[in-house]
Amino acid sequence: MIAPTLACADWLNLQEEIHIMDRAGVDSYHIDIMDGHYVPNLCFNLDILAAIRRVSATPVDVHLMVTNPLDYVDRLAACQVQLACTHLDSWGDPGEFLDALEDRGIRKGLALSPEDGVERLEPWLERLDYILVMFVKPGFSGQPFRPELLGKLTQLDTLRRSRGLPFLIEVDGGVSWENAGDIVKNGADLLVSGAFASLDRQGDLGERTAAFRALSASRCRHAAERGMNR
């Protein structure tokens, strides 16, 4: 499955591009929200998120790169966000963030930055609906993929199989036509596709989106069992 990152869309024609990708059959949209504090950059804000939700019924997953993620939860719920995650070090108690999402019916995630080991998730692993694995430093698009981190996917896939856990594995950062197969083979369910993938501007957006989604087809059944398919 794929989740085009709207950070790489044409912002001056955002509604049109969303409609094109909707028709191509995307599984969700990946929305980056940054505060210029946790990461030294800005991306979408909650008002733009609300506008996106008005023009498309496609699910969204929100990646919070912010210092106080709890400040955002009520408005995420108001925007009917389906999934949301934050980084382990963005709040003193990640469990408090998970509680807040659960109370509002939002599927719960935590994000692993490149330097974070899988073992850091252990206290919350059984509560998670998905895990976002970053293959680049959070906050900036266009960074190269780091193949040495593929082992994290294998670790997580092995963990969920051995314990019978239902979480999805999402991969963000440097995902491309060339490495998508390896990412999927190592256990990923959902690929965040951006400037190196379906939004590479190398052809018709709808055709590129459908073609890139086909690369993840081998994991679609596995992910459908975890409730992501529309």
Q: What is the DSSP string of 101-163?
A: HHHTTPEEEEEE-TT--GGGGGGGGGG-SEEEEESS-TT-SSPPP-GGGHHHHHHHHHHHHHH
Does the annotation count 27 as an active-site position?
Answer: no
User: Which member of 27, 32, 129, 189 is catalytic?
Assistant: 32
* Cα 221 from chain centre: 18
Does the annotation count 116 as an active-site position?
Answer: no
User: Which member of 61, 129, 172, 189 is catalytic?
Assistant: 172
Q: Give the Cβ contact number of residue 174 at 10 Å.
A: 23
Angstrom CA distances, 85 to 66, 111, 198, stand at 11, 6, 23
Residues with catalytic function = 32, 172
